[in-house]
Amino acid sequence: MSRWVRAVVASMGVLVVCASAWAQMPEGWDRLLGPNRGRPYRGLILDSDTKAPLAGAVVVAMWVRERVYPFQVNTEHYAVRETVTDAEGRFVMEVKDIEAGAPRRTRKPEFLVFLPAYGSFPNGYTAPRGFLAELFEGEGTTMEIPRLTDRQPRLNVLGGASPHNFSKTPGRDLPHLMKAVNAERVSLGFSPYPLPEKD
Amino acid sequence: MRTLCLRLILFLLPISAEAYEVSTHRAMVAASAPRSNVDALLRDDLGFPEGLATSVRGQALANWLTDGGTDEDNFPRFLNHFHNPLASNWSEAGLGGSVGQSAILWAQNPAQSAPSWSWRDVRQAYLDALTKSASSDRDKGLATTFEGLGRQMHLVQDAASPAHTRNDPHILFNYESAIDGLRLREASTFVSWRDRAPDTPGAPDPGWQSLDGNPLAPIAIARLVDADRYTGANPGVTMGALIGLSEYTNANFFSEDRIFTENDVSPQSRFPFPKRSSVVEQDVDVQVGGATVRRRYLVKIADGAIGYRLATVGFLREYHRRFGLDLGRFRETPSLDEAVYRDYAERLVPRAVTYSTALLDYFFRGQLFVSGNDVSMAIRNSSDEPMSGTFTLYYDDAGDTRRPVPGGSWTSALAPGARLTDLRVIAPTSPAPKEPGKYMLVFRGALGTEPDAVVGKQVAIESVLSARLLKRKDGTPIRGAAIQAIDRTTGQPMTVATTDQDGRAQLTWRPGRTVLFIPAVNLFPMYWAGGTSFVSTTEGAHVIQAGDLDPQGQVTIPIPIVDAQWPERTEECSGQPQFAHSPQGFFREGTLRSDGNVDLVTVTYGVNLITFMRDDDGRETILCGSDSGQCKTPAAGFVAEDVNRISQVVGHLVRDILSGHIRQITTPDGAPLGDPVCFNNYAESDVVPVTVFEP
């Protein structure tokens, strides 16, 4: 092995070490789970017009983790959970079992709020506006979604709320969302997704 | 060896080469689908009434699309997602020149890996979706088609990521991670970018489909990414609508490690635009951590797109200025902050969505129109491009197995708007179609410059036959006769027609399910039983098959037109029939005798009741009574089967009948001369046999 090749191989070793170190460094963004991990997420879902609490809204949280390869960082599905708002429009999602043991570089969850014939989050909510970095953390967030009467907006919401966006086996992981989405599909003249799905 | 080592090093670098993060891709692909024509095409052309919401293999087609847009970043595919539009050759336009394949070549490379998701592979999947015999295989093909299209859209969207057009294996935090973070934290902002129109109205100009192909990637989709119009010296061209997405991105935006690299020594990282003369410095108030701070930016004012923050000024800018340092020797290092990324995304995300929508529509651009019927069908190329290939009809049987229609394949070249005419379709009957008359027409061949394009169109082709009715006895046409085609499965008439001067009537029919009903050529209704046979119910009626039709699509039916015949007794006094088939008959006839008087015969007939009683089943038909205006012929009690019984007795006339017969000699003035010669009155019942005869 020539000196040049040995130098290249050594450099590669250094690069791999450095690369892994870089990849493990926090980005400076707080989208990774932080020290408060495992605390429940809370929220209140209201009708944006009447301000009435909305019972039965499905709230889905999906976690992805950043998978660090020697050559790239990618994201992959880690976990998903759902809950349903109570008669007062409130929900509390316990996630200790998911977040406490989450691998490093697991991101904070992305949320979906879905109720048939309503705007959803993130597609069609009216409040809160602006920065949503800590959605449903701590004391929780009050979210307002509007009632939809026209078909097209409902179709738009339905397209973004597909259970398959959140799980490969939504019939098992997200039965409430599956039920709600199927109800909306039927209401809009579509056939429901088959249950259980083929895993 | 050196190249190999370089590849290895680049390979091992922790580059975040996923361009837009997968969730961003998912969101952009999801936004593209409803903007495209694909939903309408699925509903109107392919027989999926739920369009993109159609559930296939457990999830909606829209989800298969977004899954593809997401999964295209799987290892190690991302290495092939770069394209430098200024590379001298597309084979050197990928990451590091040739470490990875150019995204354009990758999109058209049928040997990607297992599985391969090249354009050609997606085309094959679409062909499978339209033609595979098992419905599960067709479903798989359809899901694969949409997943593959999602992957192709991903490649187009990557051309709206500066690092991917400037050969920049960017490390750590970058434009893409910033946009994904903003997508999560300012959902409404991202939605506003997603739904915005490109900054150049009409981009991409549809003319991209007609640009000359590049032999390395001959399918026109390459031109969505690189139209070969930006040369590195003409950034203004990138603001036209006819421009590749990578050209627009390369010429107007920086990536993290390719900022003002117009003088870079390496051609792999030397990009002439944007350059320093493209920008001016400008102070802008921005929000940082909740506080408003004034930050100085380089705002783009020339050389293509203008009016946005291209980069921050370098941190050492004041130092450089104070000491008059040469920026060529002492690098200023401008950088890209979140405000810059927002300005970028405002322009790049709309392009990513719009261009990937164009790709989706391009895939489904072929249009077919079918008119006529199975006897004379026409296929029109309703596309804007010529078609040259094979048009094949398929149908689904009751078990959802898709089968080619025997003889239903034609090879032809059709200019836009041109028609392939006078096509004869032999409607399949074995096995019977699930829905008679419903077919899938599939084109495979060259569509414009694309060699193996696939176009599908669900069509309804009515089967039409010409039924010709002739009198069996002399072959003359039976004119003005009604004839019906009846679906034997439902018992419902499909069409009713009347024969013309030539005895012909056009009828829509369903091969293998249709019988012909002739209600009134004879006095009794008849179903054709084949040949010259007829039956009175659909059972036993001949179910028309394609083979019954002659080459002109005609079926000829010779019909015996029959009547009833029965014996009448001659009354001995009057020499006239003893009874008449008439409820209120009267007959008078005078014969001049040689003596100048008249031999006058007068007969009156009356009927209490005449019926016809069939011998086979005893069914009785009342032909007339004392208050009838006239009597019906006993043929009214015939049934269709009787036409096969010419000269046979099929029943009896049962008559309760009266008549009076007088023969009287009178003067020429009518005055009786003496007593009648004879007179007889009859009031009796008689029964006479009725025979079928063919006049």
Q: What are the φ and ψ backbone dihedral angles of B606, each rounded to 5 degrees? A: -145, 155
DSSP output for B326-355: -TTTS----B--HHHHHHHHHHHHHHHHHH
pLDDT of residue A23: 42
* Residue in B14, B16, B74 nearest the CB of A70: B14
CB atoms inside a 10 Å sphere around CB B506: 16
* Residue in B12, B62, B172 nearest the CB of A159: B62
pLDDT of residue B454: 98
Longest dimension (CA), chain A: 77
pLDDT of residue B318: 73
Contact of B382 with B369, CB cutoff 8 Å = yes
pLDDT of residue B15: 45
Helices (H) and strands (E) in chain A, counts: 5, 6
CB contact under 8 A, B191 and A160: no
Beta carbon pairs, A and B, within 8 Å: 124
DSSP output for B377-396: EEEEE-SSS-EEEEEEEEEE
Over residues B374-400, the mean pLDDT reads 96
pLDDT of residue B81: 93
What is the rounded distance in angstroms from the CA atom of residue B298 to the CA atom of residue B334? Answer: 9
Give me the residue label for tokens 């369903």. B510
Sequence-ordered list of residues with C-beta below 8 angstroms from that of B686, at least 6 positions apart, any chain? B579, B653, B655, B657
- Distant-in-sequence contacts of B182-187, Cβ < 8 A, 24+ apart: B182/B338, B182/B341, B182/B342, B182/B345, B183/B23, B183/B24, B183/B27, B184/A31, B184/A110, B184/A132, B184/A133, B184/B23, B185/A31, B185/A131, B185/A132, B185/A133, B186/A130, B186/A131, B186/A132, B187/A121, B187/A122, B187/A125, B187/A132
Orientation angle between helical segments A175-187 and A151-160, nearest 10 degrees: 150
CB atoms inside a 10 Å sphere around CB A34: 12
Angle of CA points A89, A93, A94, to nearest 5°: 150
Sequence-ordered list of residues with C-beta below 8 angstroms from that of B474, at least 6 positions apart, any chain? none
- B31 touching A, CB under 8 A? no
What is the rounded distance in angstroms from the CA atom of residue B8 to the CA atom of residue B681? Answer: 127
The structure tokens listed for B572 are 């001995």
Percentages helix, strand, coil for chain A, rounded to the nearest 5? 30, 25, 45
Residue type, B45: D
Q: Does residue B2 carry a pLDDT above 70?
A: no
SS3 state at B266: coil
Q: Does residue A25 carry a pLDDT above 90?
A: no
What is the rounded distance in angstroms from the CA atom of residue B544 to the CA atom of residue B209? Answer: 49
CA distances from B171 to A64, B13, B81, B207, B386 (A): 20, 8, 16, 36, 47
CA-nearest of B363, B358, B350, B298 to B160 is: B350
Q: Does residue A199 carry a pLDDT above 60?
A: no
What are the pLDDT digits (tens) for B55-75?
Answer: 999 889 999 999 999 999 887
- B40 touching A, CB under 8 A? no
What are the pLDDT digits (tens) for B177-228?
Answer: 888 888 888 888 898 999 999 999 999 999 999 999 999 999 999 999 999 9
What is the rounded distance in angstroms from the CA atom of residue B688 to the CA atom of residue B610? Answer: 11
pLDDT of residue A9: 58
Q: What is the mean pLDDT of chain B?
A: 91
* Residue in B8, B55, B186 nearest the CB of A12: B8
* Residue in B33, B53, B66 nearest the CB of A165: B66
- B289 touching A, CB under 8 A? no
- B233 touching A, CB under 8 A? no
Q: What is the mean pLDDT of chain A?
A: 84
What are the pLDDT digits (tens) for A41-68?
Answer: 999 999 999 999 999 999 999 999 987 7
* Residue in A64, A156, A165 nearest the CB of B63: A165
Q: What percent of chain B has pLDDT over 70?
A: 96
In this structure, of B19-23, B122-126, B302-306, the range with the lowest mean pLDDT score is B19-23
What are the pLDDT digits (tens) for B246-257?
Answer: 999 999 999 988
Q: Does residue A18 carry a pLDDT above 60?
A: no
Over residues B525-553, the mean pLDDT reads 91
Q: How far is A22 from chain B (nearest CA, A)?
A: 7
pLDDT of residue B327: 66
Contact of B601 with B663, CB cutoff 8 Å = yes
Q: What percent of chain B has pLDDT over 90?
A: 75
CA-nearest of B434, B439, B532 to B489 is: B434
DSSP output for B8-74: HHHHHS-B-TTSS-HHHHHHHHHHHHHHSSHHHHHHHTSS-TTGGG-EETTEEHHHHHHHHHHHTTS
In this structure, of A92-101, A129-138, B493-502, B664-673, the range with the lowest mean pLDDT score is A129-138
CB contact under 8 A, B186 and A132: yes
- DSSP annotation of B629 reads S
CB contact under 8 A, A15 and B181: no
Q: Can you give B485-514 as a three-state secondary structure string? A: EEECCCCCEEEEEECCCCCEEEEEECCCCE
Contact of B690 with B612, CB cutoff 8 Å = yes
pLDDT of residue A196: 62
Please name the helix (run of DSSP H) or strand (run of DSSP E) that holds residue B87, with its range, or none: none
What are the pLDDT digits (tens) for B411-464?
Answer: 999 999 999 999 989 888 889 899 988 999 999 999 999 999 999 999 999 989
Residue of A nearest to B170 (CA): A72
Note the ipTM here. Answer: 0.73
Please name the helix (run of DSSP H) or strand (run of DSSP E) that holds residue B223, with its range, or none: helix B222-225
Please name the helix (run of DSSP H) or strand (run of DSSP E) that holds residue B277, with its range, or none: none
- B59 touching A, CB under 8 A? yes
The structure tokens listed for B574 are 């009057």
* Residue in B14, B57, B177 nearest the CB of A19: B14
pLDDT band at B1 (very low <50, low <70, confident <90, very high): very low
pLDDT of residue A11: 61
Orientation angle between helical segments B175-185 and B22-35, nearest 10 degrees: 70
Angle of CA points A113, A118, A120, to nearest 5°: 30
CB contact under 8 A, A132 and B184: yes
pLDDT band at A195 (very low <50, low <70, confident <90, very high): confident
pLDDT of residue A10: 58
Contact of A115 with A60, CB cutoff 8 Å = no
pLDDT band at A129 (very low <50, low <70, confident <90, very high): confident
Residue, of B470 and B17, whose pLDDT is higher: B470
pLDDT band at A81 (very low <50, low <70, confident <90, very high): very high
DSSP output for A67-115: EE-SSBEEEEEEEEEEEE--TTSEEEE--HHHHTTPPTTBBPPEEEEE-
SS3 state at B442: strand
Residue type, B235: P
Residues of B in contact with A68 (CB under 8 A): 14
Contact of B208 with B227, CB cutoff 8 Å = yes
Q: How far is A166 from chain B (nearest CA, A)?
A: 11
Q: How far is B353 from chain A (nearest CA, A)?
A: 16
What are the pLDDT digits (tens) for B630-683?
Answer: 899 999 999 999 999 999 999 999 999 999 999 999 999 989 999 999 999 999
The structure tokens listed for B252 are 């107007």
